[in-house]
Structure 1
Amino acid sequence: MTANVKLVCLECGTTNRAPADRVGAGPKCGTCGTKLADGKVRALDAAMLDKAARTDDLPLLVDFWAPWCGPCRMMAPQFAQAAQALGPKARLAKIDTQDHPQVSTKYNIRGIPALILFQNGREVARLAGARPAAEIEAFVRQHSRQPA
């Protein structure tokens, strides 16, 4: 029997289950049809971040950023490149700390850009500062555990 992974649809918020060995085949949300692990960076709000961080079985790397932050804007293409490379092994998202200031307090963000890796309902690791795609990918691979 194949193990399932839980994935929150980052568009509609529905929790979905997918066979762990089929995540690479591009499962879609049962409610809205959005691909769940397509290698794209998704923008989150505070409620979606809380739900995904608490629920997702796949590693979820979140970039805490703001539009006025030069290093954040410089890192954005690198973050998107890392999302493509990590594909179905991890999901990458970002949250605008200017629009959602409560997340900075909740997650004790002292400077941006800040990357926090979540898995199985808890924070696994964090990384501060703008990074190239290769470092982002290595960070996720080093600190994540693949689901059973």
Structure 2
Amino acid sequence: MTAPSSAAAKATVPCAQCRALNRVDLARVADGPRCAKCRAPLALDHPVPVRDADFARVVADSPVPVLVDFYADWCGPCKAMAPQLDAFAQRHAGAVLVAKLDTDANPDTSMKFGIRSIPTLAVFVGGREAAREVGAVPAARLEALVARARTTSAG
């Protein structure tokens, strides 16, 4: 998957440091975008932490699929998935936005999407959920999940 090249390929992402929302040109992820407020790096080659307050905007504003990891810090399978999600985010930086939402700290979004088991991985395309996997999955299933979401949303 390649990064979008159009000028309209801007996603809204929260800064992990100050939580300010930033518009980021996904075609320029390799340039190392920084938060407009605190100047901290916006590391889009790693999962971006989202919260109830910014989840809807991040998912709706993304021109690329958003793979969301619904997790909890105490969850063993969630911890086992973390390295795979990091690697996936690095491989697809600019082409897929990888986000993570702590279900314990963000119960509203978790309830809205009926998250009953963790980890739950959901892909959003055009602001809508297009595919979901429950449980820890191998890297190939992550790739297939995003491919399935793209196919589902195109139809």
| Alignment TM-score, normalising by the size of structure 1 | 0.81
Number of residue pairs the alignment of both structures matches: 141
Segments of structure 2 that go 5 or more residues without pairing to the other structure are 1-5
Show structure 1 runs of 5+ residues with no match.
none
Q: What is the alpha-carbon distance in structure 1 between the residues aligned to residue 106 and residue 83 of structure 2? A: 22
Work out whether residues 23 and 37 of structure 1, in 8 Å CA contact, stay in contact via their aligned partners in 2.
no
Q: Please list, as runs of the form range in 1=range in 2, the aligned pairs for 1:5-44 lying within 5 A after superposition.
A: 5-11=9-15, 12-16=20-24, 18=25, 22-23=27-28, 25-26=30-31, 28=33, 31-32=36-37, 38-44=44-50
Alpha-carbon distance, 1:93 to partner: 1.1
Q: 2:116 aligns with which of 82, 86, 110?
A: 110
Distance 2:113 2:137 in 1: 20
Deviation per CA, 1:90-134: give whole Å up to 9, x if none: 011111111111222111112111011112221111111101223
1:144 is paired with a residue whose SS is: helix
Identify if the C-alpha distance between structure 1 residues 39 and 141 changes in structure 2 by more than 3 Å, giving closer, same or farther.
farther
In 2: Cα distance, 1:34 partner to 1:118 partner:
26
Q: What is the alpha-carbon distance in structure 2 between the residues aligned to residue 121 and residue 114 of structure 1?
A: 17
Q: Cα deviations across residues 127-147 of structure 1 (Å, max 9, x unaligned)?
A: 1110122321232133237xx
- 2: distance between equivalents of 1:3 and 1:114? 32
1:76 deviates by: 1.1
After superposition, residues 119-130 of structure 1 pair within 5 angstroms as 119-130=125-136
SS at match of 2:114: coil
Percentage of matched positions with identical amino acids: 35
Where does residue 3 of structure 2 map in the other structure?
none
Q: Which amino acid aligns with 1:84?
A: Q
Q: Which residue of 2 aligns with 1:75?
A: 81
Give the residue type in structure 2 aligned to 1:31. Answer: A
* More off after superposition, 56-65 vs 77-86: 77-86
Per the TM alignment, residue 48 of structure 1 is displaced from its structure 2 partner at its CA by: 1.7
Q: Are 2:35 and 2:41, in contact at CA under 8 Å, matched by a contact in 1?
A: no
Partner Cα distance (1:139, 1:73) in 2: 19
Partner of 1:4: 8
